[in-house]
Every structure is written in C-alpha cells, then in structure tokens.
Structure 1
Amino acid sequence: MKIPSFLVLSVLAAFSQAGAATFTVDKTPAGGAIVKLDGEFLTELVVDQANKTYLWPIIGTSGVTMTRAYPMKKVDGEQHDHPHHRGLCFGHESIAGYDTWAEAATFPKGAKNSERLDHLGAIKLREITEMKGGETATITTISDYLDAAGKKTSEEVRKYTFAVKGANRVIDVDIDLIATEADIVVDDKKDAGLSIRVPTEMAVDRGKEAGGKGTGKIINSEGVTDEAAWGKRATWVDYHGTVGGKAVGVAMLNHPASFRHPTPWHVRTYGLFTANPFGLSQLKVQPETGAMTLKKGEKITLRHRFVFHDGDEKAGKIAEAYADYAQEK
C-alpha cells in the first residue's frame, strides 16, 4: 500500500520537531534572565551582583558546569583568585578612563590601590530589549558605561544567541560599543575583552603545584599550545580538560567581521580565557600602542561564538565549527 505523501511529510516533521532543541527565557526578579534548554537550566544573565553583567553558571555538554563558581559561590578546591573573573563577561581596564574589568573586591584597601579604586566604573544594564525562546534563544541588552561618579560615558548593545549545533552547545555574543556622549579613548590594556573563567579542575596549571600534570590544555587555530598561546593572534582558541571525570572543553571563535580580527588572546594556564583586540602593546603583539579614540557616534563591533563540547578540539570539531561561523553574515 502506498502511503500518501502528506502523511510521510507529517511524520518527518514530527520527528524533526521532536529532535529539535527547545529554549525558554524567563525574566528574574532582579531584572536579568534565566535560559533553559529542554526544561533544564542552562545559564543565568546576572545583572545586580557586580559592576558588570555576566552569564553564570553555564552548563555545557554532559551536564558539566563550564564556569568557575568563585566569587559567586565558594567551593572547596577551587582557586579563589581574581574575584572579577565572573563567569562569562566583558570588561575593559580603561574606556573613557574608567575600569570595568576590575571591581572593588579586586584591590585590598591601601594607598597603592587608591588610584585604581578611584577609576572603577560600571556597565549598568538599562533594559532588556529582546528576550525570546524557541529552537534558539535570544537576549538583547542595552547598558550604560558609567564613570566612578555614575555619569554615563558611552553605551553598549549586546546580543546573546543560544543554540545547539550537532553535539555542541553554542552561545554567540555580539557587542557594539558606542561613543554616545562624546569622543572617548579606548586604551591599550592587557586586562580587557570578552572572557570566560573555566573550571579550576580544567586549568592547565591544575596539579602542577605538586609536581603532577593537570588535565587542561590550551590550543589555538595555529596549533600553538598552553603558555605560548598567550598574546598570539588566532581565529579560535580551545580550552579543554577533565571536569568531574568527564572530558569537556570550550572554544571561543572570533568572527571575521569582529574588530581587529584575528584577535590576540589573553588566555592563561590558570584558567582565564579572554579575546582581547585592545591590548596590542601590552600583549606584546606589536611595539606601538593599540589605543584609539572613538569619535562621538562611532562604534566598535565585537563578534564571538562560544562552543561547549565533549573531548578535545578535534572531538568538538572546532576547526569545522569556525569554518561555518566565518561564513555567517
């Protein structure tokens, strides 16, 4: 008996829908958002706990948490350094002269830190303009960059897009930094850019203090590994290791349309993982400063994709993932 074509199409559509990811996004009482994948927690956009917004925690493949808990939560066995390394975040030591990379907890009180404390700024969420789920999820925010006195210096539009691509979980982060108020200087600083602080257990240095070998590895698109990847330009970098007995990793991809592509990387063996196109001299990419003046009305566009995967960069097919990403408009 021949099955009618419309029934075949209906069955195929049902199977397709059954296999598709379903995201939901809900606003939190604090004004942030919680993203769920197939009903399970994926991440939270936290907007009221620091001088910047951030995603934390982030659940990767195999149910593994891919962000260090500190300073949001103290966990035995974790590193308790750099309290400003919060989940997945963006910050810069000096935009318009003010620091959104560090925060007050970064500096012990004392005369030598008074200047840094005096120049702490903030990235303050003004509104979430888009929040939707479905086969992908989207959160779009507008934030004001503030000086130490709370005066606006510039503005940011940030779009997060959450998706599942094959076996991998993906978060795109697109950022426009806009000189809305006046001309501003975007300085050459090592501590600047889009970051994720990976789990302590996955850090390359983990275990080496006792003469052992950590499970972590850093590798970039040019095949440069671990300490040598710091300050190098690359189209992508992958940080992988073992967390809770599971082999997992996260790659960050730099889109060709992003500012100063291919970006240099401020990636550290202790667990910091940052794409930094700003600090050209401080990252020793070149002797000349990378500082620039953004004229009123001008903007810088940053485009990156985080790919959370099982195994190493080959198992996660990161080179192939970058080739696909680079073709996207």
Structure 2
Amino acid sequence: MRYLSLFACLAFSSAAQNLPIRFQDKAADGKIEVYVGSELFTAYLFDSDHSIKKPVLYPVISPEGNFVSRGWPLDPREGERTDHPHHIGIWFNHGDVNGNDFWNNSYERDLTKRHYGIIHHTGVKKIKESKKSGELITTTEWFDFEGKKLIEEESKYTFSATENLRIIDREITLKAATDLLFADNKEGMIALRLAKELEHADPKVNYTPSGEYTNDLGIKGTEVWGKRSEWMRLTGQINDENLTVAIFDHPDNHNFPGHWHARGYGLYAVNNIGSDVFTKGVEVSDISVPEGGKIKFKYRIIIASKHLTEDEMVEAALQFQK
C-alpha cells in the first residue's frame, strides 16, 4: 500500500498524535477562539458591529507560532502592504450575487457608489471539543445593498492538528432566501490573505518574501493565476520555520476544479464561479438557485511545518475527497 493515512503521508509518525482542540467562547468580544492544546490557532471573528462586513478566521497561526495571515488592517505589522482592506484572514464570499459585491465590501467603502453586500453573523449552532478534533457550526445571513436578505448560510468548521500540522475543513451550505444568480466574477470564493513573508518576490518591497505557488500541473509562481487545479501548494519560510500552506478544492463543488485567484502580493483564493473571466468567455460557470434551493461547497486548508512534496499533496487531496 503506497500511503497509510493523511498524517502518515505527511511524515508525521503515529507517535505524533492528534492534539486536542478546544474553544473559548468570547461572544462579547465578537469572536470564538480556537486552541491547539494551550496555543492559539485561529479565531472565528464576527465583530458584532459588522465593521469587517463578513465573519473571518483571524489570525491564522502556524504550528511554530508564526502568523500565516497578514495583520493589517486589524493588527498592523511593520512593513506590511496596506492594500485591499477587505482581505482579512480566511473568508468565503463572492463578487457578484444578484448584482451585489460581497467580496470588496469593507469599512473603507463608499456604499453609495456600488452595490455592496454584507454578511451578518447570526448564531452558533454547535461547539464540540475532543482530543482529536474540534467542530464549530455557525450561521450567517447575506444581505444586499438595500438590506434585503438573499442567503441563509450554515458553515461547519472542523479543526484538527498534530505537533507540526494544522487542518481546517469548511463545509458551507447556502440556502436561497430569494431567487439567486451567482454570476461569473473573478473575485471569490474561499480565500486567505498571506503574511508578507509568504508573498512572491517583488522588487517594489523592502523585505524578501519566500513564497512560491505550485499547482497540480506543476505550474509555479504567479503563472498559476486563473488556471484550474484541484489543489494549490504555497511553500515559504517565516523565521526558521519551513511552511506549506495548501488549499484543496472538492469534487462535489460546482465547476470543480476551480480557477485560482492567487496573486503574488499575498491573495490566495480558489474560485468555482469565475470561468467566464478566467477563460475570456470560452467557459461559463454562473449558478442560478431558486428560492428555497441550496448549494454546498467544501474546502480544506492545511498548514504544515515543512515543505510538502507533490506525492504528499496528492495523498492529502485523496484523503480530503474521501
């Protein structure tokens, strides 16, 4: 048998057991923190005054305690880019739902100049801790620029970890509160804004990024943008920690495998509803959902304290697809 299991194939022996996941419910502060043992991994941040315009996972911290996500605009760090204030941690949304832009909305936007949507956190259905994983189920509602409810969302987050590995699985169910059109748009869907150290080389910045994208066809660097791929591997280094940040699309998702909206400056996203843009009109991937209908998406994010090989990425993808 070529591979044993996800953890084994990533070169973590059975002695490197799953670590317990626990949560701290800090709803009064607009967040639910996620811990691996006693160490903060991330937080479901829903910001009760809605200034971030959608719930996010922020910050995102590596197994050795380095920030994988950019700090700005919430917690600026020296030398970071200060572009795209809507790029915060890990998020899920889309650039055109019934003509409403959920992607670009932020506290800096002039809402009178464009139809910006907003995603409101509405509740927590489940928090479950265990020695091997942790589960968080949340609900949100998507509203258009006039305040009309378009979508009822339920997201299940499953967190797991070993000493040198972190995994986030997210299953998203979107129920249409009215007839919906998810129109082709390059800006979507599951996304992460990376720390400056994981950007690609850029002579315009005064630091030396170490990031490199590789997709499942072996295409590297910024050439991955717009290409289809089942997964993407980003390798780099922060301080003395070698890192892989990998994102996996799922065969059950619409228009699998998705196109990658992955930029050298640190935007890292896979988009299942962008074919018209990425293929210059050769393909179309719009989705129409009638009132009361549902559509689901599944994604996995892995953060490993090593540079994963292609074989390890393939096996991780197979494990996720099972």
TM-score normalised by the chain length of structure 1: 0.86
Query: Residue 271 of structure 1 aligns with which residue?
Result: 266
Q: Secondary structure at the match of 1:173?
A: strand
Query: Residue 7 of structure 2 aligns with which residue?
Result: none
Q: Secondary structure at the match of 1:80?
A: coil
Letter of the aligned partner of 2:61 in structure 1?
I
Change (3 A) 1:121 1:278: same
Summarize deviations over 1:208-266 as a string: whole Å, max 9, x none: 33799741100011111112111111110011212123221200011211222111111
Question: Aligned partners of 2:55 and 2:206: how far apart in 1?
Answer: 37
Question: Aligned partners of 1:65 and 1:57: how far apart in 2?
Answer: 7
Contact 2:196 2:266 in 1 (8 A): yes
Query: Residue 27 of structure 1 aligns with which residue?
Result: 25
Query: Residue 82 of structure 2 aligns with which residue?
Result: 80
Cα offset, 1:46, TM superposition: 0.6
Q: Which has the larger radius of gyration?
A: 1
The 5-angstrom pairing of residues 288-327 of structure 1 reads 288-314=283-309, 317-327=312-322
Query: Residue 56 of structure 1 aligns with which residue?
Result: 58
Query: Residue 188 of structure 2 aligns with which residue?
Result: 192
Contact 1:61 1:248 in 2 (8 A): no
Question: Aligned partners of 2:55 and 2:306: how far apart in 1?
Answer: 29
Query: Residue 4 of structure 1 aligns with which residue?
Result: none
Q: Secondary structure at the match of 2:261?
A: strand
Q: Secondary structure at the match of 2:181?
A: strand
Query: Residue 67 of structure 1 aligns with which residue?
Result: 69
Aligned residues: 304
Query: Residue 126 of structure 1 aligns with which residue?
Result: 122
The 5-angstrom pairing of residues 117-156 of structure 1 reads 119-134=115-130, 135-156=132-153
Runs of 4+ displaced beyond 6 Å: 210-213
Summarize deviations over 1:17-38 as a string: whole Å, max 9, x none: 9944111112112343111111
The 5-angstrom pairing of residues 246-257 of structure 1 reads 246-257=241-252
Contact 1:266 1:283 in 2 (8 A): no
Q: Secondary structure at the match of 1:267?
A: coil
Cα offset, 1:178, TM superposition: 1.5
Question: Aligned partners of 2:265 and 2:83: how far apart in 1?
Answer: 10
Identity of aligned residues (%): 27
* Residue 170 of structure 1, aligned match among 159, 167, 170: 167
Question: Aligned partners of 1:285 and 1:316: how far apart in 2?
Answer: 32
Cα offset, 1:200, TM superposition: 0.9
Query: Residue 262 of structure 1 aligns with which residue?
Result: 257
Higher helix share: 1
Cα offset, 1:319, TM superposition: 2.1
Q: Extract unaligned runs of 5+ from structure 2.
A: 1-13
Cα offset, 1:318, TM superposition: 2.0
Letter of the aligned partner of 1:303 in structure 2?
K
Question: Aligned partners of 2:18 and 2:58: how far apart in 1?
Answer: 24
TM-score normalised by the chain length of structure 2: 0.87
Letter of the aligned partner of 1:132 in structure 2?
K
Query: Residue 115 of structure 1 aligns with which residue?
Result: 113
Cα offset, 1:114, TM superposition: 4.5
Question: Aligned partners of 2:68 and 2:75: how far apart in 1?
Answer: 14
Question: Aligned partners of 2:264 and 2:62: how far apart in 1?
Answer: 20
Question: Aligned partners of 1:275 and 1:89: how far apart in 2?
Answer: 11
Q: Alpha carbon RMSD of aligned pairs, Å?
A: 2.3
Q: Determine if the alignment matches structure 1 residue 157 to structure 2 residue 154.
A: yes
